[in-house]
Amino acid sequence: MPTTRSTPAAKLPICPDLLLDRDGPVLRLTLNRPDVRNAMTGEMVRQLTEVVAWAEDHPEVGTLVISGAGGTFCAGGDIKGFMASFRAARPEAGQPDPIQADNRRFGHFLTRIEALPQTVVVAVEGAAFGGGLGLACIGDVVIATRDARFALSETGLGIPPAQIAPFVAARIGVSQARRLALTGMRFDGAEAGRIGLVHEVVDDAAALEARVTRLVADIRRCAPGANATTKRLLMAQRTTALPELLDLSSAEFARCLRGAEGQEGVAAFLEKRQPAWAAGS
């Protein structure tokens, strides 16, 4: 049975399709439908969105690690769910199509998880197809095993990668996104590293877990508020003119330097000790 561990002060949501494990400032989220290679259903997306809402409300948690159970990351959308959708009656004229609403819900989820204040680490082994590949694209740091398998597989099913396409294009560029989406080609972790879909490639599952552990330790040495601000400013460059962004950045620098983290960080450096947020890292 899936288990959820948390502290009484910050109870985690109950999510039957996910494993949630909090260790201080680190939350590990594992997709947990290994019998179907962690394929996503509408219910799993609802649970994932619930976890995102929890993380939005708990900025003291600085790192979110996402992986999949059973040696695979995520095989994409649950095909049985697709079949149930297109067998359902069409909406009456002028009424919204529930398929459209369900599809858009996944885009809302990706938008929110990409914007989290936490540093999001995604660890990929086995398959990352369709929505699983899209989920990998929101990671701040993405690591994959060399033999992991990736594909934008939707067009082979007669549908577009509608909600994930913008996130894939933002990660690897429109040219590479077109190549992957319009061929449905499968490729391995090494190729994913070459095109910039993942940041690091390791040899096997043991090396993947070891690298995640080291990354989490590195992230813990960074102030969570400073990381959240840095991430927000980096994301803002997509939509904000440079002069405005530099003005915003200078204001955030001043706010952070005058804030508790800035004061603690400078004091720790001068006193040659770890800052409070890095204790135990």
- Closest by CA to 109, choosing from 179, 22, 201, 46, is 46
- How much is the pLDDT for 1? 36
Q: Give CA torsion, residues 47, 54, 100, 192, to 10 deg.
A: -80
Q: Does an H or E element contain 128, and which? A: strand 127-129
Encode pLDDT of 25-80 as tens digits. Answer: 999 999 999 999 999 999 999 999 999 999 999 999 999 999 999 999 999 998 87
The reported pTM is 0.92
Encode pLDDT of 239-251 as tens digits. Answer: 999 999 999 999 9
pLDDT grade for 83, boundaries at 50, 70 and 90: low
**Structural domains in the chain plus CATH codes:** 4-220 (3.90.226.10), 224-278 (1.10.12.10)
Q: Give CA torsion, residues 203, 207, 213, 219, to 10 deg.
A: -20
- How much is the pLDDT for 94? 82
Encode pLDDT of 111-169 as tens digits. Answer: 999 999 999 999 999 999 999 999 999 999 999 999 999 999 999 999 999 999 999 99
- How much is the pLDDT for 4? 44
